[in-house]
Amino acid sequence: MLDEKKVVLSGIQPSGNLTIGNYLGALRNFDAFPDCKCIYCVADLHAITVRQVPAELRRRTYETLALYMACGLDPEKNILFVQSQVPAHAELGWVLDCYSMFGELSRMTQFKDKSQHHADNINAGLFTYPALMAADILLYQTDLVPVGIDQKQHLELARNIAERFNGIYGDTFTVPDGYIPTTGMKIMSLCDPTSKMSKSDPNPNAVVYILDEPEVILRKFKRAVTDSGTEVCRGEGKEGIANLMNIYACFTGKSDDEISAEFDGRGYGAFKQAVGEAAAECLRPIREQFTRLMADKAYLEEVMKKGADQAAYYARKTMSKVRRKVGFAL
């Protein structure tokens, strides 16, 4: 355990603009562990399982780091770093590949989904991605991993790998637990509320990005798919309204009953306007701080270097133990 504190680790890929789903389901909850050692990485190694334009990947890496800080993560209180700048991730990833079963990796639903969307590039990295994710987690003896519902399967694999390795070689890795927030854990598309909001959605009206301007946010919510009724409540066939209620609850802290009472007799138009305004107002300071941070590339690189040095220090401790256990020459 790092510094005798519980360790929290999470990461986000720098592949595409981040959405309010990323914010409400992950970024907003990253500061919820004041008594823990918190480690957050920009997961650029994971991003290249899908072909990337190098200059765009590099730019988005800076942007994701800036968004971490704009959303409230203080680099003086947390370890913020870029995954590829700590080579131990790739090293442990290979070791854990050798302790991950083919059948386990074959059952990963994200591999199946991405294989369908990128049929021309079903590469080995896409298949072994969960073992690298396990390495990210186990490298820091992580106790707690904030995850969305769609990542639970990967976390369970990380636990299985840790237990398998520990069973063979003795106590080596901390077996991590997941942390799933009670609100905002799955935000759906504004155009198809049966599908998760995705930063790679080709329809820009389906997605609200963290960095969207207020007028864009309002326009997207006004166009959000609902149903033929007028009552703001949950129910069968009201997936669109339920999604908007989830979003409004996340931004305002209001309960379903409070939301239904607030918009009783007012109709969907007033509700969509209110959801858009709440989102725009909450995201405004994040966008403004992001702009300030992106104007200071030298500072972002300073944060990257400091964070990578801190992360590498802890990673070396784990890798020293792993190398000794598996029999590598020291």
- CATH number of the domain where residue 217 is located: 1.10.240.10
Q: Domain holding 101: CATH number?
A: 3.40.50.620
In a domain, 300, yes or no: yes
Arithmetic mean of pLDDT over the chain: 91
Task: Return d(Cα 71, Cα 64) in angstroms, integer.
Answer: 10
Encoding tokens for residue 144? 């707690």
Q: Give the neighbor-by-neighbor strand order of the sheet with 144-146.
A: 79-82, 37-42, 7-12, 144-146, 177-179
Residues 20 and 164 in one domain: yes
Predicted local distance difference test score (pLDDT) of residue 26? 78
Residues 53 and 168 in one domain: yes
Residues 306 and 242 in one domain: no
Compute the average pLDDT of residues 29-46: 88
Predicted local distance difference test score (pLDDT) of residue 35? 87
Residues with a catalytic annotation lie at 114, 196, 199
Residues 113 and 252 in one domain: no
Predicted local distance difference test score (pLDDT) of residue 127? 86
Using pLDDT thresholds of 50, 70 and 90, give the confidence band for residue 77.
Answer: very high
Task: Return d(Cα 238, Cα 179) in angstroms, integer.
Answer: 28
User: What is the maximum alpha-carbon separation in the chain?
Assistant: 73
Compute the average pLDDT of residues 113-141: 84
Residue 236 vs residue 321, higher pLDDT: 321
Domain extent for 160: 2-179+296-326
Sign of the CA dihedral running 267, 273, 277, 278: positive
Residues 261 and 232 in one domain: yes
In a domain, 26, yes or no: yes
In a domain, 190, yes or no: no
| CA contacts within 13 A on the Cβ side of 153 | 12
- Distances in Å between the Cα of 35 and the Cα atoms of 27, 140, 205 are 17, 17, 39
Residues 102 and 64 in one domain: yes
Predicted local distance difference test score (pLDDT) of residue 116? 66
In a domain, 184, yes or no: no
Task: Return d(Cα 45, Cα 108) in angstroms, integer.
Answer: 18
Phi, psi angles (nearest 5°) of residue 295: -80, -5
Predicted local distance difference test score (pLDDT) of residue 210? 94
In a domain, 194, yes or no: no
Residues 94 and 233 in one domain: no
Residues 21 and 145 in one domain: yes
Predicted local distance difference test score (pLDDT) of residue 229? 87
Compute the average pLDDT of residues 201-210: 92
Pick the range with the lowest mean pLDDT from 141-145, 164-168, 181-185. 181-185
Residues 130 and 245 in one domain: no
What length is written for the chain? Answer: 330
Using pLDDT thresholds of 50, 70 and 90, give the confidence band for residue 1.
Answer: very low
In a domain, 192, yes or no: no
In a domain, 95, yes or no: yes
In a domain, 189, yes or no: no
Task: Return d(Cα 73, Cα 129) in angstroms, integer.
Answer: 26
Predicted local distance difference test score (pLDDT) of residue 152? 81
Compute the average pLDDT of residues 219-242: 92
Predicted local distance difference test score (pLDDT) of residue 112? 66
Residues 270 and 232 in one domain: yes
Number of domains present in the structure of the chain: 2
Residues 272 and 306 in one domain: no
Residues 175 and 212 in one domain: no
